Amino acid sequence: MPELRHDPVQKRWVIIATERANRPQDFIVSSRVDNGEDCPFCPGNEEFTPPDLCRIGGGGSAWKARCVPNKYPALRVEGELERAAAGQYDRMNGIGAHEVIIETPDHHSDLPELSIDDLAAVLGIYRDRILDLSRDIRFKYILIFRNHGAPAGASLSHPHSQLIATPVTPRTVAIELESARQHYLVKERCIFCDIIAQEMQEHRRIVTLDQDYVTWCPYASRLPFEMTVAPRRHSHDFAAMGNDEMVRLARHLRNVMRRMKSGLEDPPYNLMLHTCPAYHLENSRSGYWSTIRMDWHWHIEILPKLSRTAGFEWGTGFYINPTPPEEAAEFLRQVSVDDR
């Protein structure tokens, strides 16, 4: 059983994933090569993954997208959450969920090549899995993320996203939630709505916008060409979106991904969806979450991995970004994109 451990100085949880255990010698050999043969995510190889949690398309190997439990999960879905002290430290058994969303049967395809409808269906799987797992009160937060390219941590090249449900609210999300709450308590306005208003007015950091969504390079971008995607209208809950909104988001997101892929020559990247805490969905009448509908605003962060983080970043939590977001946005705005 994996274990969650808390550092009392750095105030951070880590997952010690003993069952994925790599022994010291495993780290010395370089990472495995994925040549597209024997891919467990390709049609016909369904027996190499656990059974579907959900799928789009037909039975057998005739699916268009499917979600399966991760065969090598970082957290385990079975069991009760057990919390304990360990001297100065704190631990929890590694209860959670770890799923894989296989986005297309085509090994050599990629998210930006999907049709709008197929991409909307993938986003619909995100929503449906969040809704399903939110009913489990052991889970505080559900993160959906995507690693593209080996430098961004992808170990399999077949297009896929991942979902991890955690029994604690992760520190990064907790800081964002707290900032949004404090802003709302003083101003009775959503901090993201305020930021979007400022970005639309200044326009210098906008990458693209349409009636419903806006993408910009954040003022304090950590990495070159970092982008944030958010709905223009206030919305705290990604999973509350209907199918029509999913289609409009798919159109916007595909445009953004195509700009990035074409302009930056298919860079490695990480993509993360920050929606409201799972806990909220089942506890929206409790005190703590009573303002989250007003103060939180879901968003997607896209982090191209064009440079490497080094000792300075690890030692400070600071980032040195050599590309001003104004220049990054101007470059990405000018990439011509075929939206068909």
Map the footprint of a second copy across residues 148-207, applying CB under 8 A: 150-154, 162, 164, 166, 170-173, 175-176, 179-180, 183, 191-192, 194-195, 198, 202
Region 200-259 residues binding a second copy, contact defined as CB under 8 A: 202, 218-222, 224-225
User: CB-wise, 281 or 303, nearer to a second copy?
Assistant: 303
Minimum Å distance from CB 60 to a second copy? 30
Tell me the one-letter amino acid at 215.
T
Minimum Å distance from CB 291 to a second copy? 16
Which distant-in-sequence residues (6+ apart) come within 8 Å of 296 by Cβ?
177, 180, 190, 192, 236, 276
Total interface residues for a second copy by CB under 8 A: 95
Minimum Å distance from CB 93 to a second copy? 14
| Contact code string over 28-47 relative to a second copy, x by CB under 8 A | x-------------------
What is the C-alpha separation between 99 and 75, in angstroms, rounded?
10
**Coil, strand or helix at 338:** coil
Which distant-in-sequence residues (6+ apart) come within 8 Å of 229 by Cβ?
213, 214, 215, 252, 253, 256, 299, 300, 302
Q: How many CB atoms lie within 10 A of CB 266?
A: 13
Q: Which of 131, 331, 333, 337 binds a second copy (CB under 8 A)?
A: 331
Minimum Å distance from CB 243 to a second copy? 25
- Does 103 engage in binding with a second copy (CB under 8 A)? no
What are the E-state strand segments in 27-121? 54-57, 63-69, 83-86, 89-93, 97-102
Q: Which of 87, 186, 211, 340 binds a second copy (CB under 8 A)?
A: 87
Joined tokens for residue 80: 């009760």
